[in-house]
Amino acid sequence: MIESKEQVEVTEQEIVLTKEQAEWVRLYEAASAYKKMASWTWMSGNHIFGVRNPENGEMGYCSIMGADESLFGLAVFRGGEGLESLHDMLLERDERYAWLHRQKCIMVTFEDRTDLEKQDLAQIKELGQRFRGRKTWPMFRIFDPGLVPWTLDQEQVRYLTIALEQAMDLAGRAKKNEAVLTAPRSGQVLVRSNENGEWQDVWMDPEFVLKRPVKAECEDQALLNDIMTRFPNKKGQWETEFFFAPVAVKGEGDRPYYPRLCLWVDRATRSAVGFHLAYDDNYEQEFLKHFLQLIEEKGIRPQKLIIRTNDTVDLFEKTAQRMKIRIEREPRLAYLEEARDDLFEYFMKNQK
Domain boundaries, the chain: 5-204, 221-350
Q: Which residues contact 74 (CB under 8 A, 6 or more apart)?
A: 34, 62, 63, 64, 65, 107, 108, 163, 164, 167
* CB burial string 180-204: b at 16+ within 10 A, e below: eeeeeeeeebbbbbeeeeebeeeee
Phi and psi (nearest 5°) for 74?
-140, 130
CATH says 221-350 is which class? alpha beta
Q: Are 270 and 204 in contact (CB under 8 A)?
A: no
User: Would you call 215 exposed, middle or buried from its count of C-beta atoms within 10 A (0-12, 13-18, 19+)?
Assistant: middle
pTM: 0.85
Q: What is the pLDDT along the chain (352 residues), one digit of tens a residue?
A: 444 444 444 444 456 889 999 999 999 999 999 999 999 999 988 899 999 999 999 999 999 999 888 899 999 999 988 888 887 776 655 455 555 677 899 999 999 999 999 999 999 999 999 999 999 999 999 999 899 999 999 999 999 999 999 999 999 999 999 999 999 999 899 999 999 899 999 999 988 765 666 789 999 999 999 999 999 999 999 999 999 998 999 988 889 999 999 999 999 999 999 999 999 889 999 999 999 999 999 999 999 999 999 899 999 999 999 999 999 999 999 999 999 999 999 888 877 5
Rounded distance between C-alpha atoms, residue 190 and residue 314, angstroms: 34
Contact 230, 326 (CB under 8 A): no
